[in-house]
């Protein structure tokens, strides 16, 4: 006989939820527990017993649901409602002063009557962890994601749920309908030491630093492993917020987050002017070793959200914020040899092979020497004792030599006259510090790098085609250039080591999905020198077709934003090469069909005022491209369903969003209906 919970049991579960959330917040967020652990465990067991007896009482925000989900087979991709931006860096006082001067000059340019001479900043330690984004709907945590490329990250919801300082359900007043929160997941120093001590006792590999430990823990497919790592999080910003008033200042926004149950860094504060920022930098630096968490600098943000809006962004970074990094960590070691690596554009880069040395939390065996001009300026020779510098994630570099330790038998470093990979001639163009292999796409090194770039996330984003697999495919002679990727078959792939039939089928599917990139992504994927994402987008929006770009001359190209004489020269040179055009033609013959930009009058955007949500797998158009197409027509693309949603675009394997849309009576469109909508609306525009 099936029994249902009575009113007393329903009330009991509700009270246990509230009590456990309260004590969880006091222990992990406020660091001020009111009850002993044994009492907390008793309450939790009482709740678990009721949820076992009555499974219908188990909800996603239950305090019992921190751990225990079965391991995932892989992480899925999610799109952030608001992009997660990167920060520019400052490394000394002069650069911080220049940062504030740029801000004040820009404010004056925007408003000639500007009287601001000194800015107020929200300042905080720059934690050395993993940036994550949390999404709440009506106060309930529904999604956690990594930063990824800033626009798209990996869904790590089950893992963030295991972190006790992240609320599963928000508390307090005026909770927004939709809330996107940004924060840094980190491993406290004490937890890091305990983790490594346990690993040593069991004869296992230890982590080199807390950042690697935190990042590795958050990317576990088994959330039970993540739960055992004792991670924590400090929040530092919001993304999208719907249904609540936004404070006027960043510092007030942090306090607002704290009132909803989030943990914010206690060492954050508000200062005035660049001078206040520099004093804060010195203050935090003096107690860096005594902090309970690792940091690699501090962050300065203009405190006024209105001024932030006025100052705006450049590329993927806000103008109104900067990271002031601590001096790079340096160590001394022996330079044993120098090798020359060939990059995607044929550039030969000298790489120092070093006696292994522990710098900045990792063991370094290689370091960049940049180019021959730098080698000559620093007078670096094989056999020298050198100072190796490493700052954060920056590639280690040979900073300088130690003259007093130079032996008599050092050897000068000489640029090879022939490419070390293909034996083609090496040339140096006047005015450039870089020497290049002239082999072009006949050089295997350049071919490999071109394929890796083509498949990368910011280019065609071919899921499952990582650098190691590219190397393997190339070495097995299954591919020679980017067009060969689309001629691969499952039977070719399963012959490779560690490649099963399912993985092979998934890769072929990813290749098919990549055949409809935006024109901007396609231009970027070709690897034209000096043409990055922003320039590729500018070229796409200006010319509207690849043919028009190919036909443009250098003078015409310089009418495009972000294109100067050097970039124009590289674009023209690229399309004058027969082999480049042959590969592009080969790509088109395999079914590659870039989606061209849609030109509409900004005042007459046909989908303006409409809001769409995309879920599931789209087979003919990637989700990011679908989003771009809809936004180009004036639509807003959201990450969550509400009664105000115009329609849900539901691909294959649509999940809870489809159920919610149906319950709210929101229109549901399949992929064919989406393609029809875009085509008809674009023609109307």
Residues 337/380, Cβ–Cβ less than 8 Å: no
Q: What is the CA radius of gyration of the chain?
A: 28
Kindly tell me the burial class for residue 382, based on how many C-beta atoms sit within 10 Å of its own C-beta (0-12, 13-18, 19 or more).
middle
Q: What residues contact 631, with CB distance under 8 A and at least 6 apart?
A: 637
Within 10 A of 45 (CB to CB), how many other CB atoms are there?
A: 11
Which residue in the list 14, 126, 509, 676 is annotated as catalytic?
Answer: 126
Q: How many CA atoms lie within 13 A of 600 on its CB side?
A: 21
Residues 223/231, Cβ–Cβ less than 8 Å: no
14 is catalytic: no
The overall longest dimension of the chain from CA atoms, in Å, is: 91
Task: Give how far Cα 80 sits from Cα of 85, 208, 525, Å.
Answer: 11, 30, 23
Within 10 A of 207 (CB to CB), how many other CB atoms are there?
A: 19
Describe the crossing of helices 623-632 and 671-684 by its angle, rounded to 10 degrees: 30
Question: Whole-angstrom Cα distance, residue 168 to residue 171?
Answer: 10
Cα separation of the two ends of the chain: 62
Q: Measured at the alpha carbon of residue 335, what is the angle toward residues 334 and 337, in degrees to the nearest 5?
A: 140
Beta bridge partners of 518: 595
Measured in whole angstroms, how far is the alpha carbon of residue 136 from the centre of its chain?
A: 20
Tokens of 385: 């004792």
The helix (H) or strand (E) run that includes residue 435 is: strand 435-437
Helix %, strand %, coil % for the chain, to 5?
Answer: 40, 20, 40
Read out DSSP for 554-587? HHHHTTSTT--HHHHHHHHHHHH-HHHHHHHHHH
Question: Whole-angstrom Cα distance, residue 307 to residue 194?
Answer: 44
Catalytically active residues, by annotation: 126
């Amino acid at each position: 006989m099936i029994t249902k919970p009575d009113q007393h049991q329903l009330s009991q579960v509700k009270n246990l939820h509230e009590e456990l959330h309260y004590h969880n917040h006091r222990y992990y967020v406020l660091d001020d527990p009111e009850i002993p652990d044994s009492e907390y465990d008793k309450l939790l067991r009482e709740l678990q017993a009721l949820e076992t007896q009555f499974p219908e009482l188990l909800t996603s925000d239950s305090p019992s649901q921190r751990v225990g989900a079965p391991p995932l087979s892989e992480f899925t991709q999610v799109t952030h409602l608001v992009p997660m931006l990167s920060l520019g860096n400052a490394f000394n006082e002069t650069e911080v002063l220049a940062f504030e001067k740029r801000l004040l000059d820009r404010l004056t340019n925007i408003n000639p009557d500007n009287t601001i001479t000194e800015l107020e900043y929200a300042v905080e330690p720059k934690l050395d962890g993993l940036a994550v984004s949390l999404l709440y709907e009506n106060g309930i945590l529904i999604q956690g994601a990594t930063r990824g490329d800033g626009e798209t990250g990996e869904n790590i919801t089950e893992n963030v749920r295991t972190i006790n300082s992240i609320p599963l359900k928000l508390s307090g007043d005026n909770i927004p309908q939709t809330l996107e929160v940004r924060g840094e997941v980190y491993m406290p120093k004490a937890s890091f030491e305990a983790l490594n001590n346990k690993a040593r006792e069991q004869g296992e590999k230890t982590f080199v630093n807390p950042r690697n430990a935190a990042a590795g823990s958050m990317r576990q497919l088994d959330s039970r492993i993540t739960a055992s790592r004792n991670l924590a999080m400090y929040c530092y910003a919001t993304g999208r917020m719907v249904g609540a008033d936004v404070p006027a200042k960043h510092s007030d926004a942090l306090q607002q987050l704290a009132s909803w149950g989030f943990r914010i860094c206690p060492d954050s504060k508000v200062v005035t002017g660049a001078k206040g920022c520099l004093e804060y930098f010195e203050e935090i630096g003096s107690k860096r070793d005594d902090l309970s968490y690792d940091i690699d600098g501090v962050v300065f943000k203009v405190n006024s959200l209105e001024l932030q809006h006025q100052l705006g962004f450049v590329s993927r970074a806000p103008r109104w914020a900067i990271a002031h990094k601590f001096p790079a960590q340096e160590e001394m070691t022996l330079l044993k040899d120098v090798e020359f690596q060939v990059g995607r554009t044929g550039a030969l880069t000298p790489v120092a092979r070093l006696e292994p040395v522990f710098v900045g939390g990792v063991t370094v065996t290689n370091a960049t020497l940049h180019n021959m001009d730098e080698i000559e300026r620093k007078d670096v020779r094989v056999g020298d004792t050198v100072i190796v510098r490493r700052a954060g994630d920056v590639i280690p570099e040979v900073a300088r030599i130690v003259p007093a330790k130079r032996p008599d038998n050092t050897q000068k470093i000489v640029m090879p006259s022939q490419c070390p990979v293909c034996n083609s001639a090496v040339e140096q163009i006047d005015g450039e510090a870089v020497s290049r292999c002239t082999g072009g796409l006949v050089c295997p090194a350049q071919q490999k790098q071109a394929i890796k770039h083509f498949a990368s996330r910011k280019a065609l984003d071919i899921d499952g085609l990582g650098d190691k697999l590219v190397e393997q495919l190339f070495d097995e002679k299954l591919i020679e250039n980017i067009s060969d990727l689309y001629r691969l078959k499952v039977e070719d792939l399963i012959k490779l080591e560690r490649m099963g039939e399912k993985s092979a089928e998934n890769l072929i599917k990813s290749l098919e999905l990549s055949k409809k990139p935006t024109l901007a992504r396609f231009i970027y994927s070709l690897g034209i020198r000096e043409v990055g994402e922003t320039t590729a987008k500018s070229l796409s929006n200006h010319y509207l077709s690849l043919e028009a770009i190919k036909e443009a001359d250098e003078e015409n190209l310089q009418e495009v934003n972000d294109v100067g004489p050097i970039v124009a020269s590289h674009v023209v040179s690229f399309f004058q090469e027969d082999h480049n055009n042959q590969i592009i033609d080969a790509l088109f013959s395999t079914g590659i069909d870039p989606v061209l930009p849609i030109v509409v009058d900004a005042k007459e955007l046909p989908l303006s005022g409409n809001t769409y949500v995309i879920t599931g797998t789209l087979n003919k158009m990637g989700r990011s491209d679908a989003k771009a197409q809809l936004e180009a027509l004036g639509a807003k693309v959201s990450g969550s369903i509400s009664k105000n949603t115009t329609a849900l675009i539901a691909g294959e394997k649509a999940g809870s969003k489809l159920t919610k849309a149906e319950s709210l009576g929101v229109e549901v469109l399949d992929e064919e209906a989406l393609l029809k909508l875009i085509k008809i609306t674009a023609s109307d525009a």
